[in-house]
Amino acid sequence: MIVTRKALPRRTVLKAAGAAVALPLLDAMVPALTALAETPASPERLRRIGYVYMPMGCDLSRWTPPGDDLSELSPTLSPLAPVRDQVTVISNLELRNAYPGTHATSNSSFLSCARAKRTESTDYYLGTTVDQLAARRIGHQTQLPSLELAMDLLATVGQCDNGYACVYQNNLSWSSPTTPLPSEAHPRIVFEMLFGDGGSPADRRSALARRASLLDAVSEQIARLQQTLGPGDRAKVGEYLESIREVERRIQQAEAGVRENPLPDLERPLGVPAAYADHARLMFDLQRLAFQGDVTRVITFQLARETSNRTYPEIGVPEPHHPLTHHGNDPEKIAKVALINRFHVSLFAEFLEKLRATPEGNGSLLDHSLYLYGSGMGDPNVHDHQNLPTIVAGGAAGRMRGGRHIAYQQPMPLASLHLTLLDKLGVPLDSFADSQGPIRELFEPLSM
């Protein structure tokens, strides 16, 4: 007789005092005495995707790998060496609908591949982005249909770029052609979106005063749960909860540092690390926890807004980013742009390593995920939308073969890549924007 009872439902959540902690995939959630009992997770059923936006293109001479594999990485992509086997670099993708070349259209077209209506007012019009197409199909399976994140805390309004409303630069995700989805950059707010009960900023501060730790609030439930689990699951739950506690500790540390600073800080609300890298790592760690706990399966993350004047003194670039990209072929400025590009890639590479180090089912979190990292601009000095810097990372549930550089002889629409990734996510479409069909060479066929 085949027994299909589950000891624990996949959506098991610990709740107390406004806190909610979803659990990672455990052996105890798999039907007993079936083939699945020997293979704790069916990777084809674990579907999640993330999109990371890098602003203002790059120095392509230092970005592009020299060969058709990644045995030798370019200077900018060298931080990906530890995970190169789960990374594919794609060259000569283009965004035709981003022209005329602007920063606003670079950002807005990246996930929509649509032509933005040129307007300085509220009658903006774009297109539904691929992340939201995914969220429509698989978002009902999780607590949050999608998660929109950014690194910039202030969203400008009005006209930002050559007659285009700022909304095009502020938002990567659009749930309809007229509905942009705001991103969140404050780690504490994101943390409570994932694990708390939300509320206004004042409510959140009050809630923090009432409880020292999210995990302390559910400690009794955790103790009872651990008594019902096997050794492997107990260790898995322990590691996951320790990851939550570590992120919480870092947020609290950042909050304490800001409170103790006597100087006014109007641009960095309470709890946001002062250093860009620390802030970015926290935001990436929150993505990992969101995927590990199956709180959401669709995430977008904007590393900085287009036309960002952020400086990066920690890597020896005290000049603002945007003016450097208009380098006029000055070698010193180009080199500094490349340093920023490499810095951004290094933070993404660290994140991929953490995903790979996080066990899930019969593999890792990286094995069962897909991430698209890239920009809507190629050469920022001329504002073009050709030869876009693009990376696809992850195992795609055993379907993606990494370690490759796919370089097209003729420009390929970025929309074709989006169409391909949606298909592998279980969201098949006949077409998307100006796509020319799926990129078949990116994924392996399923073995029979």
User: Residue 207 sits in which domain range?
Assistant: 1-40+187-271
Q: What percent of the chain has pLDDT over 70?
A: 77
Is 1 domain-assigned? yes
Q: Which of 271, 287, 316 is the last residue of a domain?
A: 271
HSE-up of residue 376 (Cα within 13 Å, Cβ side): 34
HSE-up of residue 192 (Cα within 13 Å, Cβ side): 22
Overall number of domains in the chain: 2
Q: Is the pLDDT of residue 26 over 80?
A: no
Do 122 and 222 fall within a single domain? no
Do 87 and 152 fall within a single domain? yes
SS3 at position 401: coil
Q: Is the pLDDT of residue 40 over 50?
A: no
Do 47 and 32 fall within a single domain? no
Predicted TM-score of the model (pTM):
0.83
Q: Is the pLDDT of residue 334 over 70?
A: yes
Is 109 domain-assigned? yes
Do 371 and 239 fall within a single domain? no
Do 256 and 310 fall within a single domain? no
**pLDDT band of 35, cuts 50, 70, 90:** very low
| Mean pLDDT, residues 60-78 | 96
Do 30 and 94 fall within a single domain? no
Alpha-carbon gap, residue 324 to 321, rounded angstroms? 5
Which of 157-166, 251-260, 273-282, 325-334 is the least confident region?
251-260
Is 281 domain-assigned? no
Q: Would you state the structure tokens that stand for residue 181, as one six-digit string?
A: 């989805």
**Res 290: pLDDT:** 92
Is 349 domain-assigned? yes
Do 177 and 48 fall within a single domain? yes
Is 447 domain-assigned? no
SS3 at position 277: helix
* Percent helix, percent strand, percent coil in the chain, to nearest 5: 40, 15, 45
Please tell me which of 36-40, 129-133, 163-167, 357-361 the model is most confident about, judged by mean pLDDT: 129-133
Find the CATH number of the domain harbouring 324.
3.40.720
Whether the CB-CB separation of 42 and 36 falls below 8 Å is answered with yes
Query: Cα–chain-centroid distance for residue 66?
Result: 27
Is 304 domain-assigned? yes
Do 361 and 390 fall within a single domain? yes
Give me the helices (H) in 171-263, please. 187-195, 201-210, 214-217, 219-228, 231-260
Q: Is the pLDDT of residue 388 over 70?
A: yes
Higher pLDDT, 410 or 27: 410
